[in-house]
Amino acid sequence: MTIEDDAEYEDRLAKRTRERDLLARQLYEVKHKHADYIETVRDAIADSIGRLTLAPVDPPTWQELGGQRRQPEHAIALLSDMQTGKLTPDYNSDVCRERVMRYAARIVEIAEVQRAHHPVDEITVCMLGDMIEGVDIFPGQQWLIDSTLYDQLFNTTPAILADFCRYLLAHFEKVHVLAVDGNHGRIGRKGQYGPMDNADRMVYRILGLLMRDEPRFDLTMTDPQGERNWYMVGQWGNYSAMLIHGDQIRGSNGFPWYGLGKKVNGWASGGIEERFDDLFMGHYHQLGRMPLNQRSVWANGSTESTNTFAAETLAAQSEPSQWLLFCDPDAGHITASYGVGLR
């Protein structure tokens, strides 16, 4: 390297050093200005807030905490698809009883929560069918039951329902039951007996006899001549709901959404004489709510579990559950809904 090369290198190095120092000063100035800006903003905010005076929030009064009684509401419990007598790997008549009574206890617990805000003096139990399993409505059913039709009709199911209603009577001023038939209540195969020969209907009649001395209890079911007790419309003040079992709706691979829209809209537009706001149904053993414009379909669950037929055929299972609803009779709509798990 020559002397001239050394001089040129020194000049380049000095130039780069000056550029570095210039950039360092500029960066420092930017950071300093930014810090000054942030500090200025902080000071302005602190000064503004310091001039504000907020009055302390008054504590709630006793009336606001629940002491004042507000508009009463009505409890509506959906009970369906108990299928007493059915036998699966973890379900039988004893498990059915246990879960139905657990449902009764949870109804009362939830009602107490509601009562902290408003009265809930009455409850309607909408029994939506398939209260028994039956014994011969499809081939091979005799291998999937733990009791005879006689036991299902006279020993297990009415006793479970009576105990359920009596438990509610101890916690509500009045207990009402609205009841429709399910397809598992059918005696024999389709068409073998008349549509009025339905075991669900017999169970409801026995329940009425068991509860006949309870003045705060009443049971209503339709009894059309030569027809199945397939629907009714319940009325709670300005709110109403159509009750069906649900086998009237044809499903597609287990999902009856199109069928629901078609049938419910048809019934609402004159397919039945009565008007209704919502529809309650069981049958599909799936807890769900389906809005249809201004109406809702409340699809109830089941007390059963581990349905091997549903697993194999529909690739579906559902946790044992039932709907508990609360309605404002004056406003005419549901105010709260609880999907009550029964495990």
Q: Note the pLDDT tens digit of each residue in 289-328.
A: 999 999 999 999 999 987 765 665 555 667 999 999 999 9
* Pairwise CA distance, residues 26 & 14, whole Å: 18
The amino acid at 324: L
pLDDT (0 to 100) of residue 98: 97
**Strand pairing report for 295-299 and 278-281:** parallel
Residues 6+ apart with CB under 8 A from 187: 134, 193, 197, 198, 199
Rounded to whole angstroms, how far apart are CA atoms 139 and 278?
35
Enter the pTM of the model.
0.80
Q: Return d(Cα 228, Cα 114) in angstroms, integer.
A: 37
Q: Convert the pLDDT of each residue in 229-257 to its tens digit.
A: 999 999 999 999 999 999 999 876 666 78
**Better pLDDT: 116 or 226:** 116
One-letter amino acid at 50 equals G
Nearest to 168 by CA among 261, 76, 62, 275: 76
Q: Output the average pLDDT for the chain.
A: 85
SS (HEC) of 283-325:
CCCCCEEEEECCEEEEECCCCCCCCHHHHHHCCCCCCCEEEEE
pLDDT of residue 255: 65
Between residues 321 and 228, the one the model is more confident about: 321
The length of the chain in residues reads 343
Which residue(s) pair with 340 in the sheet?
A: 322
Two structure tokens written together for 326:
């609360």
Among 160, 132, 165, which residue's Cα sits nearest to residue 147? 132
Neighbours of 120 (CB within 10 A): 20
Nearest to 153 by CA among 178, 128, 138, 133: 133
